[in-house]
């Protein structure tokens, strides 16, 4: 990102999300390139950063979209993702969402239970169309990641067991309204070890082979997302090692590989800028109070996640400080024990690796308007989401009749 951070913070004010679109391109091309020579589609996990400009940028590069609500499907369509590249997943889809997804004619609806399959069949029948489906298998593999973002164990709510999946495929084969062309697994997020991915992949590939024997042909092999990134000192799985492990494991299967990366594309393509309000000490404990808070970037509070925090253009001896926001919760912090020089009003802090699950998990808690978002492409900056105003926050309340309160 060649633009000066200070200029951006002053031009757009803070708190502010800034995304490096050239970096997004680089990440996309590295991952897609690693699967070169194989039939593959990168379906971007929209939940990680659903700004329309981000989705549009990835769509132009050829990406599809992995969506978990009809809202995300609508975003993807609006941003120009081809309907044939859109997947709709999620453990609890409402009838209306299923209907809209079927009517939109997207590539796949990903089923997460037998009950859901029956529901999709019924809705497809009412529309007199055949639903293209895949089934999310829970391979019961420990992904070795934070337990809040682990999804591939039977104790997690996601997917169905191998046995149930097999039953579901056999049922679907007989149904006039279901066309089971895909299989899916996703064992967790921020994965830094290859072995669990490979293990899950092998289990699911075996299932595909046994389905072939039943004349059930799987065309799309969806390996989910989950590729980890470096926040601190984690060693990343390289795209090449990832691609190699997957392609070796599914050797002999004639399938298109679907990938659903979110964090890998976005986390280190974005930063969060916040300005210092005050310094204070409670006893010996030092706090740097900033204008960004847990409502803007929830990951530290929710997962105790580490994000590197750096002061811009500040020299001097550093001591440890907690970087905290103005929200009325003790859990409102962006960083703990961060080495920082003495800070002054309006000094800028950069919170690194904030491009994924940053803005999308933000809220209006404490009636705080959500941050603005800016894209940098080719050294130029573009506003891609306006800062929320007070009027934005109360609009839906103001739209209601208040006469009953006199």
The residues with which 61 forms a beta bridge, in sequence order, are: none
Query: Which residue in 93, 263, 368, 370 binds ligand LLP (CB under 6 A)?
Result: 263
Q: Which stretch binds ligand LLP (CB under 6 A): 17-25, 55-63, 259-267, 272-280?
A: 259-267
Q: How far is the CB of 131 from ligand LLP (least distance, A)?
A: 19
Q: Mask 135-154, x = binds ligand LLP (CB under 6 A)?
A: --------------x-x---
Q: Mask 94-133, x = binds ligand LLP (CB under 6 A)?
A: ----------------------------------------
Under DSSP, the state recorded for 360 is G
Query: CB-wise, 166 or 186, nearer to ligand LLP?
Result: 186
Residue 328 known to be catalytic: yes
Cis omega (within 30 of 0) on the bond before 330? no
Q: How far is the CB of 248 from ligand LLP (least distance, A)?
A: 21
Size of the site for ligand LLP (CB under 6 A): 21
Q: Are strands 178-184 and 131-136 parallel, antiparallel or unpaired?
A: parallel
Q: How far is the CB of 237 from ligand LLP (least distance, A)?
A: 12
Coil, strand, or helix at residue 43? strand
The residues with which 376 forms a beta bridge, in sequence order, are: 20, 381
The residues, any chain, with a CB within 8 Å of residue 253's CB and separated by 6 or more, are 205, 208, 209, 218, 221
Query: Which residue in 143, 159, 196, 224 binds ligand LLP (CB under 6 A)?
Result: 224
Query: CB-wise, 184 or 275, nearer to ligand LLP?
Result: 184
Q: Mask 44-73, x = binds ligand LLP (CB under 6 A)?
A: -x--x-----------------x-------
For residue 220 the two structure tokens come to 């799309």
Decide: is 352 part of the binding site for ligand LLP (CB under 6 A).
Answer: no
Pick out residues in 178-207 that bind ligand LLP (CB under 6 A).
186, 189-190
Rounded to an integer, what distance in angstroms lies between the CA atom of residue 288 and that of residue 234? 27
Query: CB-wise, 68 or 178, nearer to ligand LLP?
Result: 68
Closest-CA residue to 356 (of 190, 207, 153, 181)? 190
Rounded to an integer, what distance in angstroms lies between the CA atom of residue 317 and that of residue 306? 22
Backbone angles phi, psi at 359, to 5 degrees: -55, -40
Query: Which residue in 64, 182, 196, 226 binds ligand LLP (CB under 6 A)?
Result: 226
What is the largest distance, in Å, between two alpha-carbon atoms of the chain?
72
The residues, any chain, with a CB within 8 Å of residue 335's CB and separated by 6 or more, are 300, 306, 307, 309, 322, 323, 351
Helix intervals (H) in 162-193:
162-174
Active site residues: 328
Which parts of this chain interact with ligand LLP (CB under 6 A)?
Answer: 45, 48, 66, 89, 149, 151, 186, 189-190, 224-227, 260-264, 299, 356-357
């Amino acid at each position: 990102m060649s633009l000066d951070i200070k200029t951006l913070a002053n031009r757009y004010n803070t708190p502010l999300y800034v995304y490096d679109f050239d970096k997004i391109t680089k990440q996309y091309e590295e991952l897609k390139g690693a699967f070169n020579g194989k039939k593959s589609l990168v379906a971007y996990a929209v939940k990680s950063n659903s700004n329309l400009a981000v989705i549009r940028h990835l769509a132009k590069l050829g990406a599809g979209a992995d969506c978990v609500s009809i809202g995300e499907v609508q975003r993807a369509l609006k941003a120009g993702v081809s309907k044939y590249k859109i997947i709709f997943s999620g453990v609890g889809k409402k009838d209306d969402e299923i209907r809209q997804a079927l009517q939109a004619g997207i590539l796949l609806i990903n089923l997460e239970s037998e009950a859901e399959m029956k529901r999709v069949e019924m809705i497809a029948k009412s529309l007199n169309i055949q639903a293209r489906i895949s089934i999310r298998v829970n391979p019961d593999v420990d992904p070795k990641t934070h337990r809040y973002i682990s999804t591939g164990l039977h104790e997690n709510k996601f997917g169905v067991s191998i046995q149930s999946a097999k039953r579901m495929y056999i049922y679907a084969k007989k149904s006039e309204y279901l066309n089971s062309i895909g299989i899916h697994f996703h064992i967790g997020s921020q994965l830094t070890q290859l072995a669990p991915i490979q293990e899950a992949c092998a289990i699911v590939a075996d299932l595909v082979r046994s389905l072939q024997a039943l004349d059930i042909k799987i065309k799309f092999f969806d390996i989910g997302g989950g590729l980890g990134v470096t926040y601190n000192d984690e060693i990343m799985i390289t795209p090449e090692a990832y691609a190699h492990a997957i392609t070796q494991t599914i050797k002999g299967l004639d399938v298109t590989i679907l990938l659903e990366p979110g964090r890998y594309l976005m986390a280190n393509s974005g930063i969060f800028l916040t300005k210092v309000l005050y310094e204070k000490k409670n006893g010996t404990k030092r706090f740097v109070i900033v204008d960004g808070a847990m409502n803007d970037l929830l990951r530290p509070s929710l997962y105790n996640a580490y994000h590197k925090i750096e002061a811009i253009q500040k020299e001097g001896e550093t001591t440890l400080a907690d970087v905290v926001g103005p929200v009325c919760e003790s859990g409102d912090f962006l960083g703990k024990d961060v080495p920082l020089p003495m800070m002054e009003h309006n000094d800028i802090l950069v919170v690194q690796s904030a491009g994924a699950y940053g803005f999308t998990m933000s809220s209006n808690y404490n009636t705080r308007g959500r941050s603005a978002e800016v894209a940098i492409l080719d050294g130029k900056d573009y506003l891609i989401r306006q800062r929320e105003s007070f009027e934005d926050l109360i609009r839906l309340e103001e739209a209601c009749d208040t006469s009953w309160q006199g």
